[in-house]
Amino acid sequence: MADEKKMPPMGPNGAPPQGGPGMPPNGMGGPEAQSKYSRGKYANTGRGGGRGGRGGGRGGPRVNEKPKDGKTTFFRLMRYVTHDKLKLAIVFFLVVFASVSSVGATYVTRPMVNTLSTLREHPENIRKILLLLGLMAGVHIANTAATYIQGRIMARIALNGSNKLRSELFDKMQSLPISYFDAHPHGELMSRFTNDADSVQMCLEQSFRSLISSALTLISVVSMMVMLGRWPLLLVTAGTLAVTTLVVRQRGKKSQFYFRAEHATLGELNGNIQEMIEGLKVVKAFTHEEAAVAEFNELNEAYFQAAHMGNYYGMSIMPFTANINNIGYAVTAMVGGILTVFGRMDVGALVTYMNYSRQVAMPVNQVSQQMNMIYSALAGAERIFQMIDLEPEVDEGKVTMVNAEELEDGTYVETDHRTGKWAWKVPMSDDRFAMVPVKGLVKVDHIDFSYVPEKKILKGVDVYAKPGQKIALVGSTGAGKTTIANLINRFYEIDSGSITYDGIDVRDIKKDSLRSATAVVLQDTHLFEGTVMENIRYGRLDATDEECIEAAKLANAHSFVRRLPDGYNTMVTNDGANLSQGERQLLAIARATVAEPPVLVLDEATSSIDTRTERLIEKGLDTLMEGRTVFVIAHRLSTVRNSNCIVVIEHGEIQEKGDHNELLDLKGRYYMLYTGQIILD
């Protein structure tokens, strides 16, 4: 089903071309980080890499994609900490108190120093000095308590905010079309839930209140310096702050650029790790360990370079600003000393101003210390918001499937309890609803479909299935068999033609209802971590244990489940690694069976089961098929002999159609396949 496409131009030795517009001289990228995975053959095409949805390329950010507005991202991120306004108000009050009290405690230095200078002439001033010392100690103790309490509250607010962000991201993931996951690796998506969300949480927890505290402290300190100082001292302070701000801004931009690259390359690295873990047996079977290590090292080196450069620029901010402030402090001391000698300032004012000179640099230094976290969080938040802002899967359907009861006159009415019968609830123009019984009548009428515009996968395909019929789709790999099943479920949208379900266009049926009416057993079986019983019940969450066991018996899974250590309570781990491939497929069939769907799709469902077990399953399926429509996609022609209709598909077109005997009489492609004159590739 996968079709090859032309690869983009590559650089020497097969590597992507380095550099590009807006790229630094060393060729490092930001979110547009250069990687062969961002140029994979299915990247940004929406084309799946195979049945089961694994993309052929890792997707990721596009080359030379412009970064989003950091300010917009920041203010949008702040919405996740403003939902608890009472706690946030308490934090704000404590931050204001801590900032103002810290500045106020420093001002106590002025009367204390001036009083100390008169202590020899006025010994009785010792009491005043002790009172001032007590006042300063009390303010600092209150400041420490306020800082501790605001930290505890802000940690809770930040945790709630990050949880809300993850929930929105997970909700969005459920609404995205299958094509998005075809084009993006699971590890890269997981990175948004883990690394990116963790960076955001740390930023909300620490940087939010730090920025407020720094701003208030800076305003308070500057105000006190204006009150205490003289214009020569204020000029020195203004010059120091200007140079410090310039350094923070310039190096901060570069740090943000590389932190964005770090997040992008980390997502690709996670995708590679997950892929290698899932395919480790294949790697070892083909002795590609060295190639796998080389590929990992390439991605790991790209991540290292991005992280190294991001931390280099981010961590260099503080040493630069500290040295600038030390120079400013020295110049302030010299100028202030001259003013004091000439009587323009008292000693207490000079000492206090010097303390404020140190203190005025603290907010800037605090911001510089938070730059790594802020820029890292903004880069992570951009990636998260990028996914949250994606357009959800379009669903304009109005028809729903409901539980129904059949009346004596043959009409159907909706009911709130499970009856084993369903009806399509079709809205009418006069606010009434028509109840159409769900029978499983599926008609694929002259459909065309392409994953990408330049390559058609299906061309004028017609398939008709009556209730209770078994329709087999056979053909070479890539002929379009699985695509037909995916289109019936509306995992993808057709280009032209129509697909109807009981006479209703599937585009008019809500996707949840449509997919509830169709159970699918894929060749690549996926089991969830949990018990065997829970995995079977996943087909219908309200199924009883007895119904699950009956479904297992029908799928011929009951016998092997009984032999498991804990029977139906045996834990399934690591996608069923403790079970054989055949056992996993039997559980998948049981899961589909318990759903009791009107339509069942078996996509190579028995490919990993031995012939004897397959015959037993077919007997169970014969019972399951009563009153239901079954589509069987198979390479093994022995499994489709008893089908009501066999559709032979090649290159997206139907070549032959009929039952087993009719196709043998035609002596066409099916005859040659069945007699072994040609084989399916």
* Residue 49: band (very low, low, confident or very high) from pLDDT cuts 50, 70, 90: very low
Q: Give the pLDDT confidence score for residue 570 in this predicted structure.
A: 92
- Provide mean pLDDT across the span 642-671: 89
Examine the pLDDT at 667 and tell me if it is beyond 70. yes
* Residue 621: band (very low, low, confident or very high) from pLDDT cuts 50, 70, 90: low
Judged by average pLDDT, the poorest of 30-44, 366-380, 436-450 is 30-44
Question: What pairs with residue 460 in β-bridges?
Answer: none
- Provide mean pLDDT across the span 660-675: 87
d(CA 489, CA 519): 9
* Percent of the chain predicted with pLDDT > 90: 14
Judged by average pLDDT, the poorest of 177-181, 381-385, 497-501 is 177-181
DSSP state, residue 416: S
The mean of the pLDDT values for the chain is 79
Q: Give the pLDDT confidence score for residue 497 in this predicted structure.
A: 93
- Location of structure tokens 């009083």: 115
Q: Give the pLDDT confidence score for residue 568 in this predicted structure.
A: 94
Examine the pLDDT at 47 and tell me if it is beyond 70. no
pLDDT tens-digit profile of 61-70?
A: 333 333 356 7
Judged by average pLDDT, the poorest of 47-61, 136-150, 338-352 is 47-61
Question: What pairs with residue 402 in β-bridges?
Answer: 423
Please classify residue 521 by burial: count the beta carbons closer than 10 Å to its beta carbon, then call 0-12 exposed, 13-18 middle and 19+ buried: buried
pLDDT tens-digit profile of 200-255?
A: 888 887 777 777 788 788 888 888 888 876 788 888 888 888 888 888 778 877 87
- Return the biggest CA–CA distance within the chain: 126
- Contact criterion met (CB below 8 Å) for 261 and 28: yes
C-alpha triplet 471, 474, 476: angle, nearest 5°: 160
Pair type for strands 571-572 and 530-531: antiparallel
- Provide mean pLDDT across the span 407-427: 88
Question: What is the helix (H) or strand (E) element at residue 218, kind and residue range?
Answer: helix 208-228
* Residue 624: band (very low, low, confident or very high) from pLDDT cuts 50, 70, 90: low
SS3 447: strand
Nearby residues of 394 by Cβ (< 8 Å), 6 or more positions away: 493
pLDDT tens-digit profile of 467-479?
A: 888 899 998 888 8
- Contact criterion met (CB below 8 Å) for 114 and 348: yes
* Residue 371: band (very low, low, confident or very high) from pLDDT cuts 50, 70, 90: low
The DSSP line for 164-207 is HHHHHHHHHHHHS-HHHHHSS-HHHHHHIIIIIHHHHHHIIIII
Name the amino acid, one letter, at 85: K
pLDDT tens-digit profile of 553-584?
A: 888 889 889 999 999 999 988 777 788 877 88
Ramachandran category for residue 407: left, alpha or beta (phi over 0 → left; psi -120 to 50 → alpha): beta
Q: Give the pLDDT confidence score for residue 346 in this predicted structure.
A: 83
Tokens standing for 59? 């997707």
pLDDT tens-digit profile of 128-182?
A: 888 888 888 888 899 889 888 988 888 888 888 888 888 899 998 888 888 888 7
Examine the pLDDT at 263 and tell me if it is beyond 80. no
d(CA 483, CA 496): 14
Judged by average pLDDT, the poorest of 17-26, 98-107, 225-234 is 17-26
Q: Give the pLDDT confidence score for residue 91 in this predicted structure.
A: 87
Examine the pLDDT at 16 and tell me if it is beyond 50. no
**Terminal Cα distance for the chain, rounded:** 12
Examine the pLDDT at 38 and tell me if it is beyond 50. no
- Provide mean pLDDT across the span 30-38: 35
d(CA 234, CA 242): 12
Q: Give the pLDDT confidence score for residue 680 in this predicted structure.
A: 57
Query: What pTM was estimated for this model as a whole?
Result: 0.63
Domains, the chain, with CATH or none = 70-388 (1.20.1560.10), 401-437 (no CATH), 444-674 (3.40.50.300)
Nearby residues of 49 by Cβ (< 8 Å), 6 or more positions away: 2, 42, 55, 56, 57, 182
Q: Give the pLDDT confidence score for residue 546 in this predicted structure.
A: 93
Tokens standing for 427? 């809205």
Task: Spell out a b/e string for 63-90, using b for 16 or more CB atoms within 10 Å of the CB, else e.
Answer: beeebbebeebbeebeebbeeeeebbeb
Per DSSP, which regions of 466-502 are E strands? 470-474, 496-501
d(CA 642, CA 602): 15
Please indicate whether residue 547 or residue 104 has the higher confidence score (pLDDT): 547
- Provide mean pLDDT across the span 592-611: 79
Tokens standing for 9? 């131009």
* Residue 679: band (very low, low, confident or very high) from pLDDT cuts 50, 70, 90: low
Q: Give the pLDDT confidence score for residue 423 in this predicted structure.
A: 92
SS3 661: helix
- Provide mean pLDDT across the span 293-317: 87
Task: Spell out a b/e string for 462-486, using b for 16 or more CB atoms within 10 Å of the CB, else e.
Answer: ebebebebbbbbbbbebbbbbbbbb
Q: Give the pLDDT confidence score for residue 27 in this predicted structure.
A: 37
- Contact criterion met (CB below 8 Å) for 643 and 632: yes
d(CA 466, CA 630): 9
| HSE-up (13 A, CA, CB side) for residue 336 | 25
Q: Give the pLDDT confidence score for residue 498 in this predicted structure.
A: 93
Helices (H), 5-125: 70-78, 85-107, 109-116
